[in-house]
Structure 1
């Protein structure tokens, strides 16, 4: 049997839980957390956590700590049949239309809109089902870049999550060489499975997706393929700022970077970090709360400049993924 724990929450709390949750990731068997809007008029949202075993008091307190507005609320704890919990976890995930892309889960039984490029991405421990403004904003920005005539031949998706943005880039530019990486090995396994479901070929050559487990750009395969015409990084503002020198070093002169995962008040610090590395702002998309930035690297900066530096972490973290 499986279990579900539910707490009411605010929209801000739900959005804050859209990325990695270190407190849960540290658990031996972390729950799958899904947030969804319950009432549009009142702005009520709900956190649902799906677990393999009945939660103890410590886990309930940990889940409650993720949504401070529910500190005085009693959780709803229910037991579910094993075969139902995955389907139930998808119920709050509506299909997303972003640019030419249509992203849905396996619970969607409707008609695919004509003229769209569909992807089936189920909820998982990896971020990037398309439902959050950051992922949808990146999808729309990729579409916008293609409509502007952009033709990147070498692409890196740093912090790929479910692999969705890498899949979208391959759909737009089917002959490009694409590599997707993530610091979390679980994300690479999720990406591999999603690639099979969506007919995305894995491999090292053009028209195939290479996968690697890596902190930022710190991986031999990522460095060997550089410089990139397009770097996608939908992560968080802090890592985006830290990785600015590395992403600049990996981006070809005249190449583009699509950055997301930041909230509106973090946009200027992120832009300042990338302007210092020779980028300029070429476009803004996403939502008012969650901007998506399109940057262009000025041509006077090159991959071989002496000041290039890659962000280093424990070499043990930079292991190969599945190719």
Structure 2
């Protein structure tokens, strides 16, 4: 996982190793604490199998502040292992991405260019190298959404799909490649839209995906592709709650909505907002403390995974 726009003058690095779940907590807490335009966080599995968190910035860190954050997330023993260093300016984004191991979710393998040869047989390889938008496949929210896309494909072939808050475009690409159908992918961030469009072209999904730069779901550009049979929204709780009305208005009869970007404790609040719009829970997944909800209209019994 890589979060944050890379500082142009990144010369200071914090590095710490931790078990996978603890490393994710450290990365999430630091990413939420600092301005993403000034500090970027990389969380990855190195070739030895150890999980590493690296934090990059153009200005010197306050060691006490960062060590305290690590202690909150993973304990004092891990915080004592934190290392600080200075580096010459370089393409640190590419260096960090080289350490990312492929992520396999159902039929999908999300990987970097260095692991292209590992995609075999019927596996749908999705190559993601971008660092200016969220979504390399390593975060529990992205994995939960990929699993939900695989579920939707098993149930049928939704004619119209919306991926709102597309980030790197990984979910839109997965849906287009797996279901061979039309996808609208939107994001409020123009950089994310450009990144996602480039990723779609690189993965052979460009012709199937219509990219939209839009501030929400109730714009004409987003609505033009609806009503949608499958809506994917991997964002955060506050915008998901605000989007409940417009997303449900865009949903076709019998359609499905997938919500993620939710800590486990936040899931009930998101669920309540969409139940109030007539949707019911179909599936609830929790991966590394992050929940993905699949909702629909009708009366199917909910499942946990």
TM-score for the superposition, normalised by structure 1: 0.76
Q: What is the match of residue 28 of structure 2?
A: 16
Per-residue Cα deviation, 1:268-322 (whole angstroms, up to 9, x for no partner)? 22111111101011222342622222111249xxxxxxxxxxxxxxxxxxxxxxx
Supply the distance in 1 between the matched residues of 2:165 and 2:55 (Cα, whole angstroms): 23
Supply the distance in 1 between the matched residues of 2:178 and 2:61 (Cα, whole angstroms): 48
Shift in alpha-carbon separation, 1:4–1:104, aligned structure 2, 3 A:
farther
Q: What is the match of residue 5 of structure 2?
A: none
Contact 1:181–1:214 (8 Å) recurs in 2: yes
Q: What is the match of residue 180 of structure 1?
A: 185
Per-residue Cα deviation, 1:206-255 (whole angstroms, up to 9, x for no partner)? xx211122223032211222211111001112221221111111111211
Q: How many residues matched?
A: 282
Per-residue Cα deviation, 1:62-107 (whole angstroms, up to 9, x for no partner)? 8668646488887512314635x23321144210110100110123
Structure 1 residues 224-235: aligned runs within 5 Å: 224-235=224-235
Per-residue Cα deviation, 1:103-147 (whole angstroms, up to 9, x for no partner)? 101232652232200010025021111111111111111111111
Q: Which moved more, 1:241-250 or 1:60-69?
A: 60-69
> Which blocks of at least 5 consecutive residues in structure 2 are unaligned?
1-8, 300-305
Q: Which moved more, 1:158-167 or 1:238-247?
A: 238-247
1:165 equivalent among 166, 171, 174: 171
Contact 1:126–1:161 (8 Å) recurs in 2: yes
Shift in alpha-carbon separation, 1:96–1:135, aligned structure 2, 3 A:
same
TM-align CA RMSD: 3.2
> Which blocks of at least 5 consecutive residues in structure 1 are unaligned?
203-207, 300-323
Contact 1:104–1:120 (8 Å) recurs in 2: yes
